[in-house]
A and B are shown apart, each in its own frame.
Chain A
């Protein structure tokens, strides 16, 4: 969630009253934003050195509250100090709109553009800073780090239309970037900003493209190289009177959302909002932008009232929704329908469910009638594999073993090399983008976690006896998700002696509890319907030779090897840095389902 810092005194002036921190916190709570901090209550010297600030967390869908202007406006409307403005367009007296002509080459890199002109704007330092900060917030959030949308703002009086939006080879684009003095071409610019803390992270968006997007005026002055940087020539200052905003994008919907937000937040400082003409016939995107008409939606009175548990008529609903910026009237065609004008600031309103939520917020979530509507009953049931796992967990703890909960993710070497196991490439689920080598794959065995747990508890008195009942993951070509979990039981004992009989004894105990009786190998192989278990010596590099056994079981007449136990090979102990002998057991529980 973005956090916006606003001047406390200025905001309260807009809200026409003083609030205590608690009162303002309460207002935020009711509206659905969050007061993170009031710096007047801070003891930090840097906070005390400046006028009190409010740090407010804004939900990720409220792009219209990412600056001081938006927070003040929405709260004023909510508090019924004013109605949401109706933003309108004013074409220039000459009737000649500023024009941006889009060249077809831009489809190769960044095909869409929109824009608007703010005429006779009055900028102060605060307004200027807020304007820049809003663009930054939009770039970070809605625009996904400028990949989807990016904004450029220009002093219109320093440039001359008509403008063109083109895509050219990097070497052919030459200009002085914002706040620089040297002219660079597109390629040089990439090198120049490569190490730049702020801009460096955006270079990848176009760096390897054969053509870069660029906006020119009629004198071939570069306005900007989206989405990286503007030209220095047209930069806005506090004295700028007429602002040209250009917005380039990959996403048709978002480019207009950004345009709407910029207009709604800053038109108040300008005399008029002037549309611009986009000429883009190759992709049918020729139009005048922006369109400031509120979006018309319909909502059902019954639905709004049913879900909220309220019983207001259309007028009552309209009054509450006005606090959230909507203009609502009863539909002529159907008494149950409301015509709802959704303001340009509210791109997040997609469905009447969103209107219903705002209805509930305007009424007050915590004032809604709080009763359960239905007297329904249901029949509970545990997931069978969890029920089985719980039996094994309880029996293991009753047998004197301690339950542990290591992580599911582990490193490749812990899962394979350290256990003297080989990765056949067909077994383990591997992660594409872990932040550390600790999380390279989904474990295929419980052993790494158990052994790491013992390692972390080396100071503990021996013997250490631990167990875990949890899932491992495997690749599985037959499954929709190409993988599956498998519930395993695992245990490990570290002591002065190997503990081999201990893990063997634990196996016997659990099998007894799972109604599987001990049989000889001969019996088990001969009579497939016995349902018993037996063990066989097995050669397994994880274990000391001659001291590991496969656990065999007959289920519905089929022989399964469900797991293995034994004394860990000293090389395994060395890898996991375990000072004493360790015996482990691990087996698949799913066969007992």
Chain B
């Protein structure tokens, strides 16, 4: 295993000049306790600490750390200790010359000393002014400033706090925190570091050397070796959690594996009028090539996939008298006409939107703006044999958005659909409470909202503990009769629909503020690797 900061403790630090570990052992043999600040004044404490740790982990020494504050001299103070204080220098100059013109004093002692020193020398009554010159008053003086600083230099302390503050203000001393250690022999003290083996090897097992080997202690403060791990994308990890919730509730996954859909499936069949702003070029990506869709028709491949997925429930719920024959196939032409009728003239108990409906608009190809386009296809299929059913999908949808921190032209929609007879609005609320409780969200509230294909429509709000406020977590509703009855579904069959984006809960879960850091090519690979596993029920 490698050395450095990971894995077992590294070998003692050896340099050509010194071997601190050995020095500590040597000195301890002569005296104890050692005071590192005094006994090894020239070695940085960090280096001492490393050596002591090495020895302590082998129980060869024991040590205690001491925090203390040291008073240190500044450069200016050090020169005072060497040459005397400013006032002393001024006094000395006057004493040496007998008399010094005031103009000259700066030339002799320097500008700084002349400025500070004259005043203090006057105050101390060492010199006085005589006309334009300085003359002596005291024959001999005690340089108290220098003596005090010299004392500090030796002891690195000063007990007079008032003076200490004064000196700090005059920038003569600074305070520094220091750690030093007092060291005593440990139970396994020896004069030398024993020979150690770093790891158990196959050879040692073979030779039996492991029995007498002196194993180097493991550094339990370091991290282990970095794993060359692959990883799944966090968004897909959250997606998998949602899929598991759906599977646990008996939902069948919908065939959302086509990005391009016709206006018919994406809008018209959902009773979204052709003049609806969502169908504007500002909001929806239209396809220029291929130029247009065909009218809705049978799709045997997807049909077979659905049959395969629903084989389980068909078997489970089959009654003995059922022949197993395929129910009456859908009439796509009738569906098309029904949709035209319900938009243009009203039908199925609806007055309709009453506008001239265009088949061309219906056949325009778009990048699907929601996976509800696929739910529509699946519900139309359900009309062949109307029965309680649950479907879900989590897949990519497209909006012609201006990209910013919360909007991308692509994102993932989570959608659930439940068809049954006699469904109630309160039942949808109850279901959603159960669904979101699996994500740790309790006590939902519902706000009336508008959506062209659900009535009633409800925005789902949950209380977010972290943000301490109600946040919108999804949309839901009962699909409109104008969407369901043209398919041939019976009037008393009602269908819940609910949806949310995959990105939003993921961003909240992982604390991501910019959607571009979550989806797309700008995502940081290190970030992908380091995101923890997702357990929606836990925070």
Contact = CB atoms under 8 A, between A and B. Distances in A.
A45 interface: no
B299 A480 contact: yes
Nearest to B421: A374
Interface size class of B (residues with CB under 8 A): 35 or more
Contact of A372 (B277, B296, B431, B458): B431
Contacts of B346: 350
A429 interface: yes
Interface stretch (A80-88, A127-135, A268-276, A353-361): A353-361
B305 A383 contact: yes
Contact of B258 (A383, A393, A406, A483): A483
A20 to B, nearest CB: 16
Q: Which of B400, B420, B422, B427 counts the most A-chain CB atoms under 10 A from its CB?
A: B427
B430 A456 contact: no
Contacts of B291: 482
Interface stretch (B70-78, B111-119, B197-205, B522-530): B522-530
A483 B351 CA distance: 35
B449 interface: yes
A407 B516 CA distance: 10
Contact of B455 (A357, A366, A380, A487): A357
A309 B425 contact: yes
Nearest to A342: B351
Contacts of A49: none
B232 A406 contact: no
A368 B236 contact: no
A404 B355 contact: no
Interface string A390-412: 10011011111111111111000
B286 interface: yes
B365 A405 contact: no
Contacts of B352: 350
B519 interface: yes
B464 interface: no
A407 B519 contact: yes
Interface in B508-522: 519-522
B402 A435 contact: yes
Contact of B233 (A380, A405, A460, A475): A405
B443 to A, nearest CB: 10
Nearest to B457: A357
A38 B248 CA distance: 43
A405 B292 contact: no
B346 to A, nearest CB: 7
Contact of A378 (B250, B423, B430): B250
Given A32-B447, A382-B253, A402-B231, A482 B426 contact: no
A459 to B, nearest CB: 9
B389 A378 contact: yes
A144 B279 CA distance: 11
B347 to A, nearest CB: 10
Interface stretch (A157-165, A168-176, A464-472, A535-543): A464-472
B293 A308 contact: no
Nearest to A410: B521
Interface string A515-550: 000000000000000000000000000000000000
B388 A374 contact: yes
B429 A481 contact: no
A449 B396 CA distance: 15
A386 B252 CA distance: 12
A125 interface: no
Contacts of A428: 289
Contact of B367 (A34, A61, A431, A482): A431
A428 to B, nearest CB: 8
A123 B278 CA distance: 36
A312 to B, nearest CB: 14
B282 to A, nearest CB: 9
Interface in A277-315: 295, 297, 306-309
A382 B308 CA distance: 10
Interface in B414-459: 420-427, 429-431, 433, 445-450, 452, 455-458
B480 A351 contact: yes
B251 interface: yes
B107 interface: no
A20 B299 CA distance: 57
Contact of B292 (A374, A382, A383, A482): A482
B476 to A, nearest CB: 11
B243 interface: yes
A94 interface: no
Contact of B259 (A382, A386, A408, A455): A408
Given A400-B229, A434-B285, A480-B296, A373 B424 contact: yes
A357 B409 contact: no
Contact of B427 (A372, A452, A482): A372
Nearest to A297: B351
A52 to B, nearest CB: 21
B253 A383 contact: yes
Contacts of A219: none
Given A29-B447, A383-B305, A433-B400, A378 B252 contact: yes
Contacts of B259: 408, 429, 442, 471, 473, 483, 485
A186 B247 CA distance: 64
Contacts of B232: 393-394, 397, 403
B521 A407 contact: yes
Contacts of B522: 456
The contact size tier of chain A is 35 or more
A34 B243 CA distance: 32
Interface in B285-305: 285-297, 299, 305
A121 to B, nearest CB: 30
A148 B525 CA distance: 50
Contacts of A406: 520-521
Nearest to A431: B285
Interface stretch (B7-15, B32-40, B94-102, B310-318): B310-318
A453 B516 CA distance: 12
A485 B433 contact: no
B275 interface: yes
Contact of A373 (B257, B289, B351, B422): B422
A238 interface: no
Contacts of B452: 61
B440 to A, nearest CB: 19
Nearest to A305: B424
B430 A371 contact: yes
B324 interface: no
A41 interface: no
Contact of B277 (A141, A383, A390, A482): A141
B400 A434 contact: yes
Interface string A463-504: 011100001010101011111110100000000000000000
A481 B262 contact: yes
Contacts of A252: 354-355
A431 B420 CA distance: 38
A402 B281 CA distance: 36
B260 interface: yes
B446 A32 contact: no
Interface in B322-346: 346
Interface in A105-150: 141, 144, 148
Given A306-B424, A487-B257, A466 B525 contact: yes
A193 interface: no
A455 B262 CA distance: 35
5 contacts: A32-B447, A370-B430, A374-B422, A379-B316, A457-B524
Given A30-B448, A380-B250, 5 more contacts: A308-B426, A360-B448, A403-B528, A407-B410, A433-B400
Interface of B: 228-233, 235-236, 240, 243, 246-262, 275, 277, 280-281, 285-297, 299, 305, 308-310, 312-313, 316, 346, 348-355, 365, 367, 388-390, 396, 398, 400, 402-403, 408-410, 420-427, 429-431, 433, 445-450, 452, 455-458, 478, 480-482, 494, 519-526, 528-529
In order of increasing CB-CB distance, the 7 nearest A-B pairs are: A32-B448, A378-B250, A59-B450, A482-B290, A452-B521, A357-B456, A432-B288
